[in-house]
Amino acid sequence: MGDRPLSEAADAVADAVADAHRRGWARVLATVVRVTRDLDAAEDAVQEAFALAVERWPVRGVPEDTTAWLTTVARNRALDAMRRERTMARKLPLLIVPGEGEPDAVADAMDDERLRLVFTCCHPALALPARVALTLRLVCGVPTPDVARLFLVPPPTMAARLTRAKKKVQAAGIPYRVPSAHELPDRLPAALAVVSLLLTEGHTASRGESLRRPELVRTATELAEVLAEVMPDEAEVLGLLATVRLAAARGTARLDSEVDLVPLSAQDRSRWDRALIDDGCALAARAMRRSSPGRAGPYALHAAIAAVHSEAPSYEATDWAQVVALYDLLLTVAPSPVTALARAAAWSHVAGPDAALDSVAALAADPRLDGYYGVPAVRADLLRQLGRYAEAAASYAEAAASTGNDVERSYLLAQAAELAP
């Protein structure tokens, strides 16, 4: 009994730090980077501030304004480091450029500091993958191994890419500032990719004990909502928000009472949030209507696929032919081996598991999918449909060994055990 209050207090502090990280990271980083004009130095100072919060808040209590506390500590740490190392004169100007124009109406409307920083970091001077990865790491605080998983590359490769991107920013003296209205179209694809990948990692965590990372889902949801406020007529923004809504609507049915994974095929659809589904499907329809005829973008198409699944009364009643057709369109505008794998799974409901198995076998040779658990997982489902249970069990076990998510691993091992000879 005596330990319970201490445990509850520790949990409260941990929750406060997590909430401060979610709500305050971008704001603190934006403030400190104005002082340092150096991404690395600013990031280091902010990380030190959060580390100090973990150390001091349990002893001194959680401050009333956590963001202000963290900003003060991070700024002081950054100034101390600059004085100590005497590097200010050698550092090239990096981020906010003083006096370079007044914010326009779009910037004024973008009152979410995280979204401001997302657009600021999505500078077109960097290659699209580099600016997306850099923004996920610095602005959203996604660890490098998780960013690597989202890009289907090894963590050392991603770490090297991030280092090169930051060096390019410094060497080129790229002026980072909130873009004006005419600059937004060039930066929008990267901003959308950042939010989409945040949702992907939040929806199914790449590693850990939990299936989801709710803090990333919340951040992706909030950013998508602000984007829709700033650009309410942009088809791809509407598509992204629709995908966010539909993922949230089906989220409660993904786990059973024992906190075990429930695949889409076995979910109790009465547990889905019908209001969110109606909202998401309406947004998806608007996104497709606002798209150029025959030239819908990837986020509008993703939303359309999610809407078809969400509107189906049952898994078996899903319009699989329409899903396949939408995947075919998606592969023309945004080719991806993961999309091709999803298309193969949908194709099995149209042409049979044998035909889909051939597609999966071809995808397994793609080096980008090397070690990706989705390949053996889809293969296992197809082999199971064909009654090749021993092979299916082996594929489930292979998939379980390839995922870092404990909930997914438990589900895949259970399938393997059920089918093992």
Q: How far apart are CA 240 and CA 248, in angstroms?
A: 13
Structural domain includes residue 17? yes
Q: How far apart are CA 71 and CA 25, in angstroms?
A: 9
The predicted model scores a pTM of: 0.78
Q: What is the pLDDT of residues 60-94, one digit of tens each?
A: 889 989 988 999 998 888 888 777 655 434 443 34
Q: How far apart are CA 179 and CA 187, in angstroms?
A: 8
Using a pLDDT cut of 90, give the percent of the chain over it.
Answer: 57
Q: Name which residue leads in pLDDT, 346 or 177.
A: 346
Using a pLDDT cut of 70, give the percent of the chain over it.
Answer: 89
Q: Rounded mean pLDDT of 188-208?
A: 94
Structural domain includes residue 229? no
| Domain boundary residue, one of 90, 115, 144 | 90
Where does the pLDDT of residue 178 fall: very low under 50, low under 70, confident under 90, or very high at 90 and above? low
Structural domain includes residue 49? yes
Q: What is the pLDDT of residues 222-252, one digit of tens each?
A: 999 989 988 899 999 999 999 999 999 999 9
CB 66 within 8 A of CB 24: yes
Structural domain includes residue 113? no
pLDDT at 94: 40
Structural domain includes residue 276? no
Q: Is the pLDDT of residue 1 over 50?
A: no
Beta strands in 156-261 (DSSP E): 207-208
Q: In the structure encoding, which two tokens stand for residue 102, read together?
A: 């007044």
Q: What is the pLDDT of residues 127-172, one digit of tens each?
A: 889 989 988 887 787 889 999 999 989 999 999 999 888 888 777 6
Q: Is the pLDDT of residue 337 over 80?
A: yes
pLDDT at 264: 96
| Domain boundary residue, one of 90, 105, 126 | 90
pLDDT at 151: 92
pLDDT at 211: 95
pLDDT at 2: 46
Structural domain includes residue 354? yes
Residues sharing a CB contact under 8 Å with residue 2, sequence separation 6 or more, in sequence order:
none
Q: Is the pLDDT of residue 100 over 50?
A: no
Q: How far apart are CA 55 and CA 50, in angstroms?
A: 9
Q: How far apart are CA 262 and CA 118, in angstroms?
A: 34
Among 113, 110, 96, smallest CA distance to 24 is for: 113
Q: Is the pLDDT of residue 101 over 80?
A: no
Q: Is the pLDDT of residue 314 over 80?
A: yes
Spell 174-195 as b/e; 16+ CB within 10 A means b.
Answer: bebbbbeeebbeebbbbbbbbb
Structural domain includes residue 230? no
Q: Is the pLDDT of residue 399 over 90?
A: yes
Q: Most confidently modeled of 99-108, 167-176, 319-328?
A: 319-328
pLDDT at 92: 35
Per the structure, the count of domains in the chain is: 2
Where does the pLDDT of residue 4 fall: very low under 50, low under 70, confident under 90, or very high at 90 and above? very low
Where does the pLDDT of residue 280 fall: very low under 50, low under 70, confident under 90, or very high at 90 and above? very high
Q: Is the pLDDT of residue 97 over 60?
A: no
Where does the pLDDT of residue 175 fall: very low under 50, low under 70, confident under 90, or very high at 90 and above? low
Structural domain includes residue 112? no
The CATH number given to whatever domain includes residue 29 is: 1.10.1740.10
Among 141, 118, 146, smallest CA distance to 131 is for: 118
Q: What is the pLDDT of residues 11-40, one digit of tens each?
A: 788 888 888 887 788 778 878 877 777 777
**N-to-C CA span, the chain:** 49
Residue 398 lies in domain: 348-420
Q: What is the mean pLDDT of the chain?
A: 87
| Domain boundary residue, one of 73, 90, 107 | 90
pLDDT at 84: 64
